Amino acid sequence: MAERPAILLLQNGVLGSLAEARSVLQTARPDIDPTFMIGLTTHGVTRIAGDRFGVFHAGPGHTHIGLALDQQRSAAAEHLLDTLAAAWACLDTTVLPPEQIHSSAILKLAINACLNPTVALIGCTNGGLVASEHGRRLVTQLAAELLPVLAHETAAAPVPASASPKALADIVMGIAARTKSNRNSMLVDVQAGRQTEIDYINAYFVQRGRELGISMPTHELIADMVRLRTALSEQQK
């Protein structure tokens, strides 16, 4: 690994994995000075059954990439960002300033926290969430608990979703409707008995809430339910 590597993180729950990656590298490779970047996409995809590498584009979206907060610009990072923005033009890719990419990542994480574990526990595609008013009520409750953390984290680059629980719930329900055939990654992992991203999504917000003095009981309950569902699936293998 180079002395000043450029590292781009793209997975769900990217802010939690960013903190973890920084910690691991500081311990394992104190001799290097990495520049971290984060990225996210709102494109909906689902795997094709029986095809290990096959995916179906379930819904169009956009892709954002940029330097993580508190990172110094480097030649390697700038080159990687410019290269990916050009190569991923078909994915509607935009390079954002650190404050904006952080706000976008927090918003994406909030959407995932409302959508992914809910359908994973119910055992349905994203569209199942919009089939009943019960789905909207649950999403609105999750959104209400997220709002104080969301407002704090996006203060430098506010997002419209932080205006009210309804504003965030409307975004979540709109995405669920547009990607109604999508079996999101947490649902797939739960059904396969694999570890999920719950510790980097809802549990991340629970931990951040504790740091800010904000209680998030519904998210804590959802996280424990997903962990229990995963444990049961593992036992049934």
Cα–Cα distance, 73 to 234 (Å, whole number): 44
Query: 206 pairs with which residues across the strands?
Result: none
What integer best gives the mean pLDDT of the chain? Answer: 90
- Which pTM was predicted? 0.86
SS (H, E, C) the chain: CCCCCEEEECCCCHHHHHHHHHHHHHHHCCCCCCEEEEEEECCEEEECCCCCCCEEEEECCCEEEEECCCCCCCHHHHHHHHHHHHHCHHHCEEECCHHHHHHHHHHHHHHHHHHHHHHHHHCCCHHHHHCCHHHHHHHHHHHHHHHHHHHHHCCCCCCHHHHCHHHHHHHHHHHHHHCCCCCCHHHHHHHHCCCCCHHHCHHHHHHHHHHHCCCCHHHHHHHHHHHHHHHHHHHCC
- pLDDT digit of tens for each residue in the chain (237 aa)? 788 899 999 988 889 899 899 999 999 999 999 999 999 887 877 778 788 888 888 778 889 999 999 898 888 899 999 999 999 898 899 999 999 999 989 998 999 999 999 999 999 999 999 988 999 999 999 999 999 999 999 988 888 887 899 999 999 999 999 888 888 889 989 888 889 999 999 999 999 999 999 999 999 999 999 999 888 887 877
Rounded to 5 degrees, what are φ and ψ at 43?
Answer: -65, 135
What is the set of domains in the chain, with CATH numbers?
6-235 (1.10.1040.10)
Residue 184, both tokens: 């999101």
Cα–Cα distance, 7 to 34 (Å, whole number): 7
Question: How confident is the model over 46-74, as pLDDT tens digits?
Answer: 778 788 888 888 778 889 999 999 898 88
| Residue 43, pLDDT score | 83
